[in-house]
Amino acid sequence: MRRALFWLGVLLCAVGIAGIGAGVVLSHLGLSASYNLGDPAKFQFVLVPFWLIGLVLAVLGAICVLAARLLRKAPT
């Protein structure tokens, strides 16, 4: 369980950092990369930028890594 949680955290951190990097690079090029969470058929547009998605994934990954470290120190 501890190893799985640790590697899930590492994977989420890596994907989050890649998402933040992609958002920064595309912003530098003058493009706005975002994901639409709304329904385009109803003309509902809720645009979430890539860097924000990456930030959320990186924070979740860090929480998973910290939880794996806390499980390591817990007495069994």
What is the H or E stretch that residue 59 is in?
Answer: helix 50-73
| Residue 29 confidence class, pLDDT cut points 50, 70, 90 | very high
Q: Map out the domains of the chain as residue ranges.
A: 2-73
Residue 38: per-residue pLDDT: 87
Q: What is the pLDDT of residue 40?
A: 83
In single-letter form, the type of residue at position 65 comes to V
41, β-bridge pairs: none
Which tokens hold the place of 21?
A: 């990097």
Q: What tens digit of pLDDT does each residue of 43-66 get? A: 888 999 999 999 999 999 999 999
pTM: 0.83
